[in-house]
Structure 1
Amino acid sequence: MTRYVVVGAGAVGSALGGLLAQQGVDVLLVARGEHARAMAAGGVTLRCPDTTVTVPVPVVTAAEDAYLTVDDVLVLTTKTQDAEAAVTGWADVPVHGPDGTVGRVADLLPMLVALNGVTGEEIALRYVERVYGLCVWFPTVMVEPGEVIVRGTPRRGVFHVGRFGASTDPSADTALFDGLVRDWEPAGCLVRCPDAVMEWKYRKLLANLGNVLEALLGDASGAKDVRRAAQAEARAVFDAAGIAVVGDEESRAGWQPDGLSFESVPGEPPGLGSSSWQSLARGTGTIETDFLNGEVVRIGRRVGVPAPVNARLTGLARRAAREGMEPGAFDVDELRARVLT
């Protein structure tokens, strides 16, 4: 029986693990701090638009506490800025078979990279043989330890998955994908297996360029011009770099299947938002904008296409995280003046 070991179980990882565990799928959540202690003591509470449920889940706080076997699949759900530390911490962990240790994670186990942005897969591939991109369309928020808001209803989200890098065993990839469909879809997590998963992740990156606006402004509805400018820069950069991106119509069809809509959760304001918003709300001191808007800037510099709007947004985001600002610290007119001029 496959077990899904969710590394970096914050909002996305805890929600996914809880939904799978509710259906009897074997999971192990790897978390830290108060969130890990709360889940270990009382399970993970999933608050959805249509239901609230608390699910018992096994939890560990370190790689050495997880006894890994050949039936395990690692699902990386950290923030991108924490990915390298997480991957290096797991790459050399021993994997066990019926007769003892048979190798390391790096050589044997699949790792699904369920991160925003497009750099997590490259980070993982430096250390792990079997790397798979996982494009996550799954709005979740973790505000209180042990409690996660899941906004999808009645289905919960869509996950596009594909091999990253060359495969030496396509049959193993197919078996993994079939297992994901079998285990995840009963939990409301729809699995799609496109030929080019990174085209989906670059399309998701375009959507995520607005995360920083939610974080800095709180309510980003008045900054649509800034969002459009950031996305226009990104499209110009991707075109110059020869990067393929899923088209608008295909993405709408892929992310809006029958039975999936995103609604408010009773008792919570509708403005609870992106992972960047959550980072400022929790005062983590870091924010992943450098791997979202900053990725556009990096690629643009490589191909000679400036991306000043995205560069300025990354600078403001770093400042907000460094100085402990809360979401909504900037006024929209002030932001527009700083970014668009």
Structure 2
Amino acid sequence: MPSEIQHRYVVIGAGAIGGCIGGVLARANAPVLLVARGRNAEVLAAEGLTMHTPDGPFHVSVAVASIEEVRLTHADVLVFATKTQQLDAALREWVDRPVVAADGTVATAGECLPVLTALNGVAAEELALRYFARVYGVCVWCPAAHIEPGEVIVRSWPVVGQFHISRWPASIGTAQDTDFLAALQTSWSRAGIIVRLPEDVAPWKYNKLLLNLSNVIGALAQPGADVDWLRDAVIREGEDVLRCLRIEFVPFETSTAARVDGPTPRTVPGFRSAPGDSTSQSLRRRTGNVETDYLNGEIVRMAHRAGTSAPVNAALTRAARAAARGGMSPGGYTAQQLSDLVNRVE
């Protein structure tokens, strides 16, 4: 039977994914707390969250706090929804936070609280295991964007996303994990996030990693540029590296079929064009960094580990770092410039 504990979901990072998770859970009256910073935190606290959806805007009252204001209990679940390049700092901020039990005993978050890693790439779970004993990997499919403070653009409604989740690593899963995930599945699916519980989420995350390799191309290429050949090349190179290392990934046919139940992106009124993927959003907000090092860069890392190279992914990773450092807006490269970039000798 699922756990009878009424969990509170503490969502760390209130951007596109974190804001979407927090918003739909709050609309469904599930206990949720958004942890945000800066201007985004100010707007959320003062005005709530605005969710722009294909069915119109929804205003959601959400509980929001800074890390200093959060008092943790054993009913809490930490949901990390930062970018991967920001994750290590966030994990270190939370690992030693005190968790007070009903009898007054105190443990640390790292010792006793479950952690969900709702991030792209495949590095987050191993990072989390450095600090937390109970880690659950999440493969995120959620077409959402965060451009302005206090707002998220959700391109699918009422099903906003589909998450595959399992204990990380799957080999250490217990009956406690089964009960916890069953309770989460019920709560989140009711809110509009379809939750699937595969035996092992790792092959799903590697599938998503391959799909995310083209994010950097969408961020760098001018609108309308003919870059389909490059998308094919970067994914093909990624597949070759995974096969070289005998890393299992879910076939694209399987992942496409899994999304039939949603999410289904549609046009959002007031936003004529899609806001782009997470890499484009980071460039647009001029954050100074992008997660490409943990997407295309992950393929480069694995290639180096195998004693080979991944020149297409390496070239695009370098270009993404330069674009972020230089404050470049999305769409700074023509198709020819990208062709020249990846055809240089590494």
Question: Which bracket does the TM-score occupy, shorter chain normalised?
Answer: over 0.9
What code does the residue aligned with 1:99 have? Answer: D
Shift of residue 125, structure 1, vs aligned partner: 0.4
Residue 103 (structure 2) pairs with residue 108 (structure 1):
no
* Alpha-carbon spacing, 1:48–1:166, altered in 2? closer, same or farther (3 Å): closer
Match of 2:273 in 1: 270
Match of 2:174 in 1: 170
**Could you tell me which of 126, 136, 155 is aligned with 2:140?**
136
CA distance in 2, matches of 1:219, 1:305: 33
Are 1:296 and 1:307, in contact at CA under 8 Å, matched by a contact in 2? Answer: yes
What code does the residue aligned with 1:317 have? Answer: A
Residue 28 (structure 2) pairs with residue 48 (structure 1):
no
CA distance in 2, matches of 1:219, 1:204: 24
Residue 336 (structure 2) pairs with residue 333 (structure 1):
yes
CA distance in 2, matches of 1:220, 1:285: 25
Matched residue SS, 2:226: helix
Write the mapping of 1:86-235 to structure 2, written as runs, cut at 5 A: 86-165=90-169, 170-219=174-223, 222-235=226-239
Are 1:156 and 1:188, in contact at CA under 8 Å, matched by a contact in 2? Answer: yes
Write the mapping of 1:47-66 to structure 2, written as runs, cut at 5 A: 47-62=52-67, 64-66=68-70
**Could you tell me which of 251, 265, 269 is aligned with 1:247?**
251
**Mind listing any 5+ residue stretches in structure 2 that lack a counterpart?**
1-5
Shift of residue 158, structure 1, vs aligned partner: 0.3
Deviations 1:143-186 (A, max 9, x none): 11101000113311100000112666612111211111121111
Superposition TM-score, scaled by structure 1 size: 0.96
Matched residue SS, 2:26: helix
Residue 294 (structure 2) pairs with residue 294 (structure 1):
no
What code does the residue aligned with 2:38 have? Answer: G
Matched residue SS, 2:77: strand
**Mind listing any 5+ residue stretches in structure 1 that lack a counterpart?**
none
What code does the residue aligned with 1:58 have? Answer: A
Cα RMSD of the aligned pairs, angstroms, is 1.4
Match of 1:75 in 2: 79
Matched residue SS, 1:281: helix
Higher mean displacement: 212-221 or 280-289: 212-221
Q: Percent identity?
A: 47
What code does the residue aligned with 1:295 have? Answer: E
What code does the residue aligned with 2:175 have? Answer: S
Shift of residue 68, structure 1, vs aligned partner: 0.6
What code does the residue aligned with 1:330 have? Answer: Y
Shift of residue 221, structure 1, vs aligned partner: 5.6
CA distance in 2, matches of 1:233, 1:305: 12
Are 1:94 and 1:101, in contact at CA under 8 Å, matched by a contact in 2? Answer: no
CA distance in 2, matches of 1:10, 1:245: 28
